[in-house]
Structures are given as C-alpha cells and as structure tokens.
C-alpha cells in the first residue's frame, strides 16, 4: 500500500464528475483548487462534484483551497498580449489603464514602496526580465533586459524583495470565508513569509468558523525559507512551491533549499509537500521524462509527506495518466526504502508524552513484526505523530469525525477508516465477542488469522490529546 500521498489540482481538464472519479481510481488522495483562477460559483460546482464522487466511492478525499495570496499581477493588455524587445523602455504603473506596448497596470497597490532603481522585475515565471531605471509617481520605469511575450494578468516577481502590506487581502478573506462555508479541509496559504502571517490566518479562520481547517504554508520566497522554523510552529504543514520559489531565488539553489525544508519539517513532525513541475511534460505527453521520474523519486527518498500535480491534472491532456505515473513511481521507489533501518538510525526529538507513546507503538510494531498499527483517532493528532516516525508498518487511523477522517488522508502512511462512535472502538478491544476492527483489518488490509496488530489510543481517560495506551493483539 502506497505511503506517500498524491495531491491533484482540479481545473478545466479535470473538473468533470467522470474525470474526478478517474483521478480517485488512479490514486488521488487530496483535491486542490487554485483560487488564483475562476470564481466562487465555478469553484462550488467543482467542489460539489468532488464531494459527490468521494461519497459515492466512500473515499476520504479532502479539499485544499489554494489562495491567491499577496501577489502582484499585471493588468489587462489591449490585444491580450505583447512582445517586448531587449533594450526597450517599459513602465509598470498603479494607474488603472489598459496596457499597451509602453506600459501596463499592476494589481498590487503600493508595489513600488520597497523598490528602487537597480532592482529587477520578473514577469511570466521569470522568463521576461526588467531592470528598474527610475521610480516615479507610483510607477516603475524599466529597461527590458530579457525580452519575450507577456499576456493578461501574468504574475510578477521581485527577487530579494518583500512587498509590504497586509497579508490577508480582501479577496483572500472572501475566498477563505467561502471555503469555510463549503467545508474545505486545508488552506494552502500562498507567499507566506513569516510566523505573524500564519498567526493572522489562524486567527481569521478561528474567528469565522474555520477552527478545524489546517493551514499549509506555501514557501515561495527567500523570507519564507529563512523563517521556516517559526512558520512551522504555527502552520500544520508546508508546501515547497518551487515555481515562484525558483523565480524569487536562484534556480540553482532550489534543490538544496528543497532538501533543507524537507529535513526541517521531518524533524519537527510537520506535513511537507513537494510541488510544481513534477511531471510537467505530461501536460502534453503520455509518459514522464526520466528526469521527472527521478525528481518524484528523490522527494520520496527525502521522505516527503505528499507530492503534487499542478498543470498536469488541471490543464493537461492526460490527467489520469499523470496520476497513474506518479503513483507507479512512488510505489516502485518505496519498495527500495528500508523504513525499518531509517526508523532505527534516525534521532527523533521526544518533546512530550504523545511523542514517547507514538514512538513506542512504532518500536513495538517493528519488534513484533506486526502487520498494522491501529489508532483511535479522535482529533487525528496521534495518527499524525505516528506518521512522522516513518515506520514500515501500515498505520490505520480510525476516526469518528468526517473532517478528521478526510484530513488523515494527507498523513504519510495512514489509511483512514470511518467509525461511528468511541464506544464502538472501545467495545472492540475491551468487551468479549465483538469483532468489528478485526473484520476491518481483514477486509481493508488483507490480514489473516495469527497476524499481530498494535493498538494505541486513550482508553482510561479517553478524549482529545489523551492517548495513554498501547496494546498488542492477534487476529483471531
């Protein structure tokens, strides 16, 4: 059973009921919706289809809302696009205008406040480069250093610069409130640079009915990289968003930064997602390049929680084949991983009782050659902590809350199973002649009579954060 999870971006190529169903069949674990495109009515239609598919297939597919974030984009151009030549003078302005061959508007008011002559502006994922010659009247007058085509609403980057302003803009607030009303499970927060921004998002969620929504901080600039540990103290997970990150910092540094973030998140027990251009060629081709296969495999070798497909599933010609290819690469790579050896040689920081019990459950499962660790997961926290130890034994998270059930789908190595009540779980292990968990284990995990399972949860004072029990049982 595959341990590393797959996130798929749902877009025009995949937003039909039939295609969402195919993505689930091929191995999608999380459905991501990018709010940089589309409107609420369109997103609601897509979300309703995802919910319908997951209900019909009885799958815990969580929905991740990816925010626009405090990004800068150029405005609308008269003919939709222009071609700029090296040496040409071009102006970016806060004025509300229709752009042409001489100037274009910018969506982010105050974008010039932290810029000066000599700074660079990058457009279209860094393919078109401008050197600022002068800041004047809320405009940046530039020389084109690297020419090329720019189109309506293309994103802008300012290498080495942090554009000031409130992190949560009005559009993001509206999108997040919509997400709360639609019951999304994760907010992927774009361009997060520091812990204060994470705190402001957490506060906004908590005050508006979104306490159960987890925050995934997208690291897309040098400030985010620098503040990664502090961000991890607030956020529930990290996404290494290599597209904008590779524009904001030198592309040659992206691989080492990726490894650094993965290592930090693993040590802190945080979910960590590797994203952007993982199987980019499959937007138009039926199979990935060897380099792309190696890229996905390296994320697995570095113990990423999840890997993400963006344009491959949102706008590509072969969405379901992309998921199948990624799943196959993960499966083959995981077969090469000696997770017992990794567990034994890794030095883990044990910060509290839950860490200690979770690590002990993993050790017991390995030492007794158990086939599964089964967790009574009221909040999902114990399952997430056990997941961080990357042990070789299949982990089953039994949840009674549907949101916990879905969020467990983005925990490395965890198979979520829905149960109806605490009492049912405890009756299973502490009353005679009751067999539901044994039956679940046999049906879902293919276990046989005589197989051992390790059980953990909070029995004596059971409740959220009350894990205090480990048991070793045998399938009868």
Which tokens in the block code for residue 140? 């940046």
- Catalytically annotated residue among 32, 68, 266, 406: 32
How many CB atoms neighbour CB 188 within 10 A?
28
**Residue written as tokens 């341990």?**
3
Nearest alpha carbon to residue 35 among 67, 72, 9: 67
What contacts 24+ positions apart, CB below 8 Å, involve 245-249?
245/219, 245/220, 245/221, 246/126, 246/276, 247/122, 247/125, 247/126, 247/157, 247/159, 248/157, 248/159, 248/160, 248/220, 248/221, 248/222, 249/159, 249/221, 249/222, 249/225
Spatial distance between the Cα atoms of 50 and 10, rounded to a whole number of angstroms: 9
- Does the annotation mark 32 as catalytic? yes
- Considering only CA atoms, which of 311, 281, 304 is closest in space to residue 293? 281
Task: Confirm if 422 and 340 have CB atoms less than 8 A apart.
Answer: no
121-83-277 Cα angle (round to 5): 60
DSSP string, 96-109: ---B-SSEEEBSST
Of 5, 49, 154, 218, which is the active-site residue?
Answer: 218
How many CA atoms lie less than 13 Å away from 204 in the CB half-sphere? 23
> Annotated catalytic residue: which of 9, 46, 93, 276?
276
Distance from C-alpha of 138 to C-alpha of 162, rounded to nearest angstrom? 17
CA distances from 272 to 185, 375, 379, 415, 448 (A): 16, 22, 20, 18, 34
Catalytic residue, candidates 2, 51, 73, 267? 73
CA distance 352 to 349: 9
Task: Report residue 318 as tokens.
Answer: 């072969």
Q: 109: burial class by Cβ within 10 Å (0-12, 13-18, 19+)?
A: exposed
Catalytic amino acids?
32, 73, 218, 276
């Amino acid at each position: 059973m595959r341990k590393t999870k797959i996130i798929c971006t749902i877009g025009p190529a995949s937003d039909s009921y039939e295609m969402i169903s195919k993505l689930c069949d091929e191995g999608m674990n999380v459905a991501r919706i990018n709010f940089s495109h589309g409107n609420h009515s369109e997103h609601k239609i897509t979300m309703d289809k995802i919910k319908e598919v997951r209900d019909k297939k009885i799958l815990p597919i969580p929905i991740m809302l990816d925010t626009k974030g405090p990004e800068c984009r150029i405005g609308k151009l008269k003919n939709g696009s222009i071609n700029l030549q090296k040496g040409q003078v071009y102006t970016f302005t806060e004025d509300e205008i229709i752009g042409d061959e001489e100037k274009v508007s910018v969506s982010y008011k105050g974008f010039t406040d932290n810029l000066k002559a000599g700074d660079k502006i990058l457009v279209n994922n860094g393919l078109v480069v401008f050197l600022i010659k002068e800041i004047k009247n809320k405009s940046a007058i530039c020389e084109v250093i690297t020419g090329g085509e720019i189109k309506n609403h293309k994103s802008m980057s300012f290498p080495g610069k942090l554009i000031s302003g409130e992190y949560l803009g009005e559009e993001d607030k509206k999108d997040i409130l919509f997400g709360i009303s639609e019951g999304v499970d994760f907010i992927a927060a774009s361009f997060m640079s520091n812990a204060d921004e994470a705190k402001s998002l957490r506060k906004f969620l908590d005050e508006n009915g979104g306490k159960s929504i987890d925050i995934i901080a997208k690291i897309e600039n040098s400030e985010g990289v620098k503040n990664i540990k502090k961000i991890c103290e607030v956020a529930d997970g990290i996404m290494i968003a290599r597209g904008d990150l590779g524009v904001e910092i030198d592309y040659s540094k992206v691989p080492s930064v990726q490894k650094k973030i993965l290592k930090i998140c693993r040590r802190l027990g945080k979910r960590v997602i590797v994203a952007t251009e993982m199987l980019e060629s499959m937007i138009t081709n039926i199979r990935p390049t060897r380099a792309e296969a190696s890229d996905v495999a390296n994320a697995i070798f570095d113990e990423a929680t999840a890997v993400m497909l963006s344009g491959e599933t949102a706008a590509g010609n072969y969405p379901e084949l992309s998921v199948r290819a990624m799943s196959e690469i993960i499966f083959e790579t995981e077969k090469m991983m000696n997770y017992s050896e990794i567990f034994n040689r890794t030095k883990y920081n044990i910060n509290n009782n839950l860490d200690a019990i979770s690590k002990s459950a993993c050790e017991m499962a390995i030492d007794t050659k158990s086939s599964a660790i089964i967790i009574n997961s009221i909040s999902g926290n114990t399952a997430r902590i056990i997941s961080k130890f990357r042990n070789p034994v299949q982990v089953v998270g039994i949840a009674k809350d549907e949101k916990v059930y879905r969020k467990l789908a983005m925990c490395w190595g965890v198979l979520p199973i829905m149960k109806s009540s605490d009492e049912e779980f405890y009756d299973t292990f502490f009353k005679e002649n009751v067999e539901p968990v044994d039956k679940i284990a046999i049906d879902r995990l293919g276990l046989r009579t005589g197989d051992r399972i390790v059980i953990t949860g909070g029995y004596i004072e059971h409740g959220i954060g009350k894990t205090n029990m480990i048991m070793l049982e045998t399938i009868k």
